[in-house]
Structure 1
Amino acid sequence: MLSTGNQWTEIDLNKKSNTVIIGTNGAGKSTMLDALTFVLFNKPFRKINKSQLVNATNEKDCMVELDFTIGSVDWFIRRGIKPNVFEIHRNGQMMNQSSAANDQQKWLEQNVVKMNYKSFTQIVILGSSTFVPFMQLSGSNRREVIEDLLDIKIFSAMNNIIRDKIREKKDKVRTLELKKTSLKEKLEMQQNFMEEVEKRGKERIDSKKEKINSLIVDTEECIASNEWKEDDIQEHIKDQERFVGADKKLKELGNLKGKISNKAST
């Protein structure tokens, strides 16, 4: 790895409470930081590509192993490049390797290290060449560091859940608003249709009323005309009766005249 070559370099940080590593430039002091960051997060500490961690002479078998204890659990992590190796051992037993490397890495950060790369390089490892002061970090990165430091990621998770629920509620409100608008338009259409039907019905009723009134007037005129004609007919009947009576009298007079003539001749 880097300038280490194909010889193992072992560093024990448990002998003393503080360990100082000194050496000339290029002796490999910063290599230890890159190795520690690489074995935990699969990334170099310095701003170089991961492939550049491999020793330029050997060009293979880049390997880092890390032993540490958390509480009563002993952990051992092995990570390598060319070939790619990633193993997590718990109390001497290698954990299941069936899941994808990314899933294993995520599990390691969340359940063992309990911090991500950004927080680790801001809290645990402070290198003069790559260290960015806390206040110069972006807002999201500062939040990540504080959450890892105070172990309050649960609040971010709750915040994300609340945001999702708010988004769902907004979507439901938007959907209900669309339904409301649609129902309102349908209601207006129904009201307009009912008003149109009512208007047409009223016009038809008014038209029928006019016809009925006209027929009533015509009927009254016909009745009045019939009454006048009936009176006229009665007058004619009376005249006819008078003429019939006069005709009878004329016949009687004619008969009487004939009788008188017969008597005169005898």
Structure 2
Amino acid sequence: MAVREKQSVVIDSHCHFDFAPFSEDPTQAWAQAQQAGVKALVIPTVGSSNWQTVASLCQQFTGLYYGLGIHPFFSHQHSVNVVAELACQLTQAKDDERCVAVGECGLDFAVADVNQDQQLQWLQAQLQFANEYDLPVILHCRKAFPELLKLLRQHPPKMGGVYHGFSGSYQQATQLIDLGIKIGIGGTITYSRAQKTRATIAKLPLSTLLLETDAPDMPIFGYQGQPNRPERLVDIVTTLADIRGDTYAQIAQATTLTCTELFQIKV
């Protein structure tokens, strides 16, 4: 098993830190994460309901960064004017160094009574915003990979991006990488049954991987039924190192470099 080196720092590239339980005491929650070696968080937003909340949260704590986006899972919560509202929000945040991405955005055809055309339109708009504002994208996708890939090829993100919560095949991963999209690795790999995903990430170049928890979602093995937490990123690193045959330090150093370069953040 890979040994965790105390000096190694890691970045959680996808953490909903404005959600409970972190929102109950964010100071303590962030302190716990930092004590574990997590030096930065990227917080994706889901829509107009939390754009301001997350921006304010990132102003309070050093090491917290955010993306502005329209999450497809919460489509029913968005107004018909949400795309125009997002454009205004991005314009207001263009000089905020903590705003580092467009997202969380994407396609979720697993949602009941999904309006696929609307999701496609909103994603296309967000890909265009990413290029307009020189930002990478944070991508979400369920049951819609062919459609997502088609849109990415039609509107390639010039600043790149990350496909979060990856659990697909090697072919899917390489198709994304060819478009400049990094692969977000989270708690899925801590389950031995995730053989396809484990085999895929063992073959991918380390420079194409990012670390994430998706906390409080996507609990890692051994913590089922509990809210996920950013400090458990260290368990994901340990598992990833074991799967790939790398050291903890190698994983930490490479993924931190990739994350800081993609999102233009400092640690």
TM-score with structure 2 setting the length: 0.22
Q: Which has the higher strand share?
A: 2
Q: Which has the higher helix share?
A: 1
TM-score with structure 1 setting the length: 0.22
